Structure 1
């Protein structure tokens, strides 16, 4: 799926703002752009080039869980290193969602 460069820039600008120790969802990011959908945000995260500095690991799904993908264990590890906790069902507490 091809994503307009301007929309990618909007998505990546929002992701760059998510503070350490907090998470946001694909849908929340989409809502802060001009036309992205949650699925499009997920696609944008998968298209990040190697060596990028974006905190991709701070983007989770609407159920407040890490999406099931090849980098899920790495994502959980990075989030835990930032102090993000998960409950017994693998959900992040709502109080850690950004923006408030």
Structure 2
């Protein structure tokens, strides 16, 4: 990330860094983007991605480990995570203790417990 990048550019860069099989939270993305109180804005940036974007938006969940979307969108995100090996409950809950990615720890290993 360059210091002159806009907030959306920083969000895109961070989300692109989340490895397959892991998730992080809107708040963590906001913190890494330099705006720790902007979790909702992260959601807005991801919601406005153009159709066909390859950014792994589905790897971002709320602070409780839940998919924040509802209906068909919840199922779309759930299926994308399941396809990557992330266990997701029927209601859209992910065990953050097991699947959470944190950038600082990812330099050594993409999983904090590895």
- Short-chain TM bin: 0.7 to 0.9
Q: Deviations over 1:57-84 (max 9, x none)?
A: 1011111011133511100000001000
- CA distance in 2 between counterparts of 1:49 and 1:26 reads 19
- CA distance in 1 between counterparts of 2:91 and 2:48 reads 28
TM-score, length basis structure 1: 0.86
Computing the radius of gyration from Cα coordinates, the structure with the larger value is: 2
Pairwise CA RMSD of aligned residues?
A: 1.7
In structure 2, relative to structure 1, the CA distance for the partners of 1:51 and 1:87 (3 Å cut) is closer
Task: List alignment gaps of at least 5 residues for structure 2.
Answer: 103-111
* Number of aligned residue pairs: 96
- Give secondary structure in 2 for the equivalent of 1:66: coil
Say if 2:83 is the partner of 1:81.
yes
TM-score, length basis structure 2: 0.76
Greater relative CO (CA pairs within 8 A, separation 6+): 1
Report the equivalent of 1:96.
99
Task: List alignment gaps of at least 5 residues for structure 1.
Answer: none
Which runs of structure 1 show a deviation greater than 3 angstroms over 4 or more consecutive aligned residues?
Answer: 87-90
The alpha-carbon deviation at position 51 of structure 1 amounts to: 1.5
